[in-house]
């Protein structure tokens, strides 16, 4: 059976990224295979990047409209290829304050955004054992959950900053972010906005 790779990750303008994903009723062998595929695709993507880490992925990003998210256990250590699985994840409470920080997305090529998010969220989900569990996430992890759970609802991070002319960036050669010209590159870009 072929491993999934970065080439299996769908990117805008693929309209599937705007679809809401379906709930998973049971953890089946197909769901277990899906999770393995998601992890392989994320690691393969990361291996092709010098300055970026693949921290999480939603199933829709490999064109499977199911409410499944995998989140890296250790963002600091690229050698740690383990993930935690969240099936049907839901944010039950938004807490903390709203802060803006940089976000990128494996499905939005070459664009980064300065996105406002809550600094703390409470999440409930189902694990691989079929049982519900809850986590409280803060700061970067809270941002990841908001970003990935948005994916399950057909929302991309760029949708939160669509009209903010100063919120868009690209990764320069040395790994630093530089501003993108909103009027020429972003505003009427039919690849990233729905018609």
Q: Annotated active-site positions, please?
A: 148
Q: What Å distances lie between residue 98 and 58, 131, 151, CA to CA?
A: 23, 31, 20
Q: What is the DSSP string of the chain?
A: -PPP-GGGS--TT-GGGGSPPBPP-S--HHHHHHHHHHHHHHHHHHHT-SS----EEEGGGGT--BSEEEEES-SS-TT---EEEEEEEEEEEEEEEEEEEEEEETTEEEEEEEEEEEEEEEEEEE-TTS-EEEEEEEHHHHHHHHHHHHHHTT--GGGGGTT-TT-EEEE-TTS-EEE--IIIIITT-TTTS--
Residues 6+ apart with CB under 8 A from 183: 165
């Amino acid at each position: 059976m072929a491993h999934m790779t970065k080439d299996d990750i769908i990117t805008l303008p693929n309209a599937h990224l705007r679809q809401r994903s379906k709930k998973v009723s049971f953890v089946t062998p197909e769901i277990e295979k899906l999770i393995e595929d998601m992890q392989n695709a994320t690691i393969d993507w990361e291996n092709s990047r010098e300055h970026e880490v693949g921290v999480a992925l939603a199933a829709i990003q490999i064109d499977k409209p199911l409410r499944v998210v995998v989140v890296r256990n250790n963002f600091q250590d690229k050698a740690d290829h383990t993930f935690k699985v969240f099936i049907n994840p839901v944010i039950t409470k938004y807490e903390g304050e709203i802060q803006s920080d940089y976000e990128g997305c494996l499905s939005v090529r070459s664009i980064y955004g300065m996105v406002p998010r809550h600094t703390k969220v409470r999440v409930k989900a189902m694990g691989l054992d079929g049982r519900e569990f809850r986590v409280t996430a803060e700061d970067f992890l809270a941002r990841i959950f908001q970003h990935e759970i948005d994916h399950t609802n057909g929302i991309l991070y760029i949708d939160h900053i669509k009209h903010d002319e100063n919120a868009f960036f690209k990764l320069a050669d040395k790994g630093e972010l530089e501003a993108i010209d909103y009027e020429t590159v972003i505003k009427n870009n039919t690849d990233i906005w729905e018609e």
